């Protein structure tokens, strides 16, 4: 089924920048398209998008307006970021280079597990791990050969022995502890406290979840656009352009973090996905 969504005036969407920036792990670059699993469906985005619109195909007809966060005006966010005088030339360049990159509104549980898996890992292997547990324990998606991301119940029932075939290594125990805490109600998207710091403290009750993973879950799984995950790339960026290991990037720091990361890794240093 073909879908055409209208972007607000002045907005841009780039599948390549959005799906390749390390925020999600169920999309693959296949020639002229990106194919992925979202909201219990299989969707395909042409890399070349029509101006002012978003085009995609879905097998079972899912609406991705919310997932793509099409209501958020990134043009306005970008203007507020450009006004920041700290490293302003770098920020302005990052905004220009990253045009079309959007922070996805991902499922909280899937984001939590995915970023637990991301620890000491690289993107191809993270994708492989996420696909492995989905294929083994997720529900089949009708009319496709793909599977949904598994529920906490399904993963907990599989246990360490069942998950061994998915080759998660030390992360297996972390995933199972996350399952227990989700099922007990200790952790849930709704139960997270209002402030980012309190929310991170709740997430870090999960065995193996530290500040960086907790920040990723808040930004990518709870859509808290002020949250800034600090990994080796961001430490390098802060030291190189901002004169230290960390500085407050403001109300939309998570968006700016993605722009700076995209610029540094893929443009300045020329890394491939």
Residues identified as active-site? 212
* Rounded distance between C-alpha atoms, residue 87 and residue 245, angstroms: 14
**What is the spatial distance between Cα 64 and Cα 15, in angstroms, rounded to a whole number?**
13
Nearest to 112 by CA among 239, 213, 204: 213
Residue 111: helix, strand or coil by DSSP?
helix
Cα(86)–Cα(205) distance, rounded to whole angstroms? 35
Q: Using the 8-state DSSP alphabet, how is residue 147 labeled?
A: B
- CB atoms under 10 Å from CB of 106, counted, come to 24
Count of CA atoms in the C-beta half-sphere (13 A) of 39: 15
Q: Which two tokens stand for residue 78?
A: 């970008």
- Per DSSP, the residues of 202-232 read HHTTSTT--HHHHHHIIIIIS--TT-----H
CA distances from residue 8 to 13, 47, 50, 226 in whole angstroms, order as listed:
11, 20, 13, 22
């Amino acid at each position: 089924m073909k879908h055409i969504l209208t972007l607000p005036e002045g907005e841009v969407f780039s599948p390549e920048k959005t799906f390749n920036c390390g925020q999600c792990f169920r999309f693959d670059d296949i020639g002229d398209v990106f194919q992925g699993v979202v909201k219990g469906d299989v969707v395909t985005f042409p890399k070349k998008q029509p101006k002012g619109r978003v085009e995609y195909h879905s097998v079972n007809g899912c609406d991705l307006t919310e997932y793509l966060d099409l209501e958020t005006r990134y043009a306005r966010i970008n203007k507020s970021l450009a006004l920041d005088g700290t490293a302003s030339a770098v920020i302005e360049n990052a905004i220009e280079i990253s045009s079309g990159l959007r922070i996805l509104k991902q499922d909280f549980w899937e984001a939590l597990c995915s970023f637990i898996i991301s620890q000491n890992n690289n993107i191809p292997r993270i994708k492989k791990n996420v696909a492995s547990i989905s294929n083994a324990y997720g529900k089949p998606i009708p009319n496709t050969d793909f599977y949904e991301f598994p529920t906490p119940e399904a993963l907990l029932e599989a246990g360490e022995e069942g998950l061994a075939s998915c080759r998660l290594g030390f992360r297996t125990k972390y995933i199972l502890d996350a399952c227990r805490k989700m099922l007990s109600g200790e952790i849930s998207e709704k139960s997270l406290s209002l402030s980012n710091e309190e929310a991170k403290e709740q997430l870090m009750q999960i065995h193996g979840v530290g500040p960086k993973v907790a920040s990723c879950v808040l930004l990518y799984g709870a859509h808290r656009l002020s949250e800034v995950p600090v990994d080796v790339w961001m430490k390098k960026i802060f030291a190189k352009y901002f004169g230290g290991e960390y500085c407050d990037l403001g109300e939309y720091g998570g968006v700016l973090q993605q722009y700076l990361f995209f610029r540094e890794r893929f443009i300045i240093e020329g890394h491939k996905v």
